[in-house]
Structure 1
């Protein structure tokens, strides 16, 4: 069911008869998925479908994932924000105070949204009771393996950290010129994810619930030392970002990396094999430090935000019709699967419950946790700090002790004026 249809069936909307004859109006959509070569055509098909359904054209504005936040802020300063933008779930707190960001509870109604969307998906866009975004796709960030590479190296899927390292050594020795674990070693946003997960695995944390920096701990040092050791033993490599990880795994030159479920879509493209490559894509639980520990992953999703003058909009606006279309059953039972991700509405999830890949991903998710950096108003600054200090240690520019101490000091200073975003 489409969100706008649900609203119209439960709320008396003045002038409803005029909707069908409304003049076509253009709107703009800023999207990082549109900028991804593997997915441009898929997003364009969405825009074409919306144009056919509503006689409203959409101007796509494609920017690379790493450039999105900067471009949104630049456009905010010049009053040229798009009508709708796609965000990574961790970015939302960064934009929560923009006056033009629409609280979508005021457009669709809180009860309607809660009845439409899966609770975990809807929660990603909620800050202090304001629904500042609607979910587009959802899932988690977890470990992905190339089954064929594991078989070539003669190893089983690891469950503990010790087994994980043994598997990496086997891959290094059996697969020439490989990067056994294509750990993120450049791009602060990517480095944060790898460090945060390994920090959790070792029992550490970065920021506690009260907003205190707590990374200066034996657990965090052990996590960073683990990552440094992987670099020193040629089990990981410098200058690797998430797109590089995807290419390496797709080309049989890597065995493991962390990504969201949509990785399958990228791997199909980068392998050149399309869906035939799916047999090699193996979602795994993140290895644990000790037998019996709970495996972990990071909550993940893509969000849709609306910008409008004064943050005011209505369900009849072109941008809101576009949001309604993107969260309709017609789109949600198709687009997320093409992106190898979970739908976000209750009805669409029920309709695709037999998807084997998504079922395997859900089983591998373990105890998914909120991005502990992304929930703070200074998330972008903290991401930079963590990325720089981790990279300094990985490249041998700093000792682990010095990197952790500097991280602690810089995070403490950054958190001095920070506020919870949710």
Structure 2
């Protein structure tokens, strides 16, 4: 029995059946472009769901990232929500707090198919608010030729912050390049990059009880790492977001930068290597920032059950694995496809092996305000306007206010 039949059979009055029949269109907002490789795969999977649920027609609308989340939120706030949206998981706390989205009920089997760290990217206030759809981790890309020119003996790349400092100093002094590219513009990837270093140093922003625990030796050490690297990063780091660093790496102007697995296609002719995010003095193991996009089901569309069915269908293990593989995403689940990736490209080892110990984007309702607080502290340290201790304390105070 398909979903449409179940809904009609469960209707208590004729009016409900008529309403269900009139609500056959399922509006699905997608952040991104329909030209992306994974879009074609998703279209095939949506068509398969429609074949099993012929009473519904899925209207997929692609909206550029800059306007997508705003459109989904605006429609929902106006009482005309899309049935479902693919968006950044950072938006989930705001939507949940406003009562605009439906919590996701995962079975024990479904929940166990994800690393807890992956689920943490879509959880807030004791509930799961989205189904993980796209996922990325970070590694360190480094220019092997610049390392050789600087006389560095690091065949596997830098593994610690001390290695980073040694390599950055040698490259800056002995080649025409700078050691490290740091994003410090007022963009989300400035905070993202910092959090990868912070998590690699054993840091935590918000603990399991919801308390802000940012102001810590780990935070001070991470800010100090930024301050110490200033002589060896690109000139004027405040002007750079991650996208502007990529051409510098491809042109051999910086020797190292953080990026996700997909950056491999944008490195130009650089003879590059990849390794873990190097471990800080207080860190253990291998960690990274975990960023996810997810499928969120909106309340008030009239087709919530159908939308949840579609979300679960699209993210079923093998279909999700195909979506990840085509899109070049870090897989959200452990599957045969996932386990085979390092055989296809050994660099996958660094992006998969750090998932278990990785940390999420902190889940707060006002994400933009948190991002601004973090970025201002990072910029303050790089411009020598704040000490690492002052920056850590400032972020702590501001985040406590946001949580309250």
Deviations 1:296-318 (A, max 9, x none): 3223322111214078622xx2x
Deviations 1:53-98 (A, max 9, x none): 337454333233x665544443433345433222334442232223
Sort the Cα spacing of 1:220 and 1:344 in 2 relative to 1 into closer, same or farther, 3 A.
Answer: closer
Distance in 1 (alpha carbons) for counterparts of 2:173 and 2:89:
38
User: Which residue of structure 1 lines up, in the alignment, with residue 230 of structure 2?
Assistant: 231
Q: Check the 8 A contact 1:27/1:83 in 2, yes or no.
A: yes
Distance in 2 (alpha carbons) for counterparts of 1:135 and 1:217:
30
Sort the Cα spacing of 1:175 and 1:311 in 2 relative to 1 into closer, same or farther, 3 A.
Answer: farther
Distance in 1 (alpha carbons) for counterparts of 2:333 and 2:201:
35
Sort the Cα spacing of 1:112 and 1:217 in 2 relative to 1 into closer, same or farther, 3 A.
Answer: closer
Distance in 1 (alpha carbons) for counterparts of 2:276 and 2:218:
23
Deviations 1:10-38 (A, max 9, x none): xx95779xxxxx99745232314x3xxxx
User: Which residue of structure 1 lines up, in the alignment, with residue 128 of structure 2?
Assistant: 131
Alignment of 1:49-88 (within 5 A): 49-50=44-45, 52-53=47-48, 54=50, 56-64=57-65, 69-88=69-88
SS state of the match for residue 333, structure 1?
A: helix
Sort the Cα spacing of 1:40 and 1:368 in 2 relative to 1 into closer, same or farther, 3 A.
Answer: farther
Q: Check the 8 A contact 1:285/1:366 in 2, yes or no.
A: no
Alignment of 1:351 with 2:337, yes or no, is: yes
Sort the Cα spacing of 1:103 and 1:57 in 2 relative to 1 into closer, same or farther, 3 A.
Answer: same
SS state of the match for residue 94, structure 2?
A: helix
1:398 Cα shift? 4.0
Distance in 1 (alpha carbons) for counterparts of 2:302 and 2:147:
51
Q: Check the 8 A contact 2:249/2:256 in 1, yes or no.
A: yes
Alignment of 1:264-343 (within 5 A): 264-268=261-265, 270-271=266-267, 280=272, 282-289=274-281, 293-309=284-300, 313-314=304-305, 317=306, 319-320=307-308, 322-328=310-316, 331-343=319-331
Which deviates further from its counterpart, 180-189 or 41-50? 41-50
Distance in 2 (alpha carbons) for counterparts of 1:258 and 1:190:
10
User: Which residue of structure 2 lines up, in the alignment, with residue 255 of structure 1?
Assistant: 255
1:185 Cα shift? 0.4
User: Which residue of structure 2 lines up, in the alignment, with residue 186 of structure 1?
Assistant: 185
1:209 Cα shift? 5.0
Distance in 2 (alpha carbons) for counterparts of 1:208 and 1:397:
29
User: Which residue of structure 2 lines up, in the alignment, with residue 170 of structure 1?
Assistant: 170
> C-alpha root-mean-square deviation of aligned residues, in Å?
4.0
TM-score normalised to the size of structure 1? 0.73
- How many pairs align? 379
Alignment of 1:368 with 2:357, yes or no, is: yes
Distance in 1 (alpha carbons) for counterparts of 2:186 and 2:96:
23
SS state of the match for residue 344, structure 1?
A: coil
Distance in 2 (alpha carbons) for counterparts of 1:197 and 1:271:
21
Q: Check the 8 A contact 2:100/2:298 in 1, yes or no.
A: yes
Distance in 1 (alpha carbons) for counterparts of 2:202 and 2:336:
35
Q: Check the 8 A contact 1:159/1:288 in 2, yes or no.
A: no
User: Which residue of structure 2 lines up, in the alignment, with residue 41 of structure 1?
Assistant: 36
User: Which residue of structure 1 lines up, in the alignment, with residue 101 of structure 2?
Assistant: 101
Distance in 2 (alpha carbons) for counterparts of 1:368 and 1:395:
31
Sort the Cα spacing of 1:350 and 1:411 in 2 relative to 1 into closer, same or farther, 3 A.
Answer: same
Alignment of 1:220 with 2:219, yes or no, is: yes
User: Which residue of structure 2 lines up, in the alignment, with residue 161 of structure 1?
Assistant: 161
Q: Check the 8 A contact 2:139/2:258 in 1, yes or no.
A: yes
Distance in 1 (alpha carbons) for counterparts of 2:6 and 2:114:
22
1:147 Cα shift? 4.5
Distance in 1 (alpha carbons) for counterparts of 2:232 and 2:116:
43
Distance in 2 (alpha carbons) for counterparts of 1:23 and 1:96:
24
1:381 Cα shift? 2.4
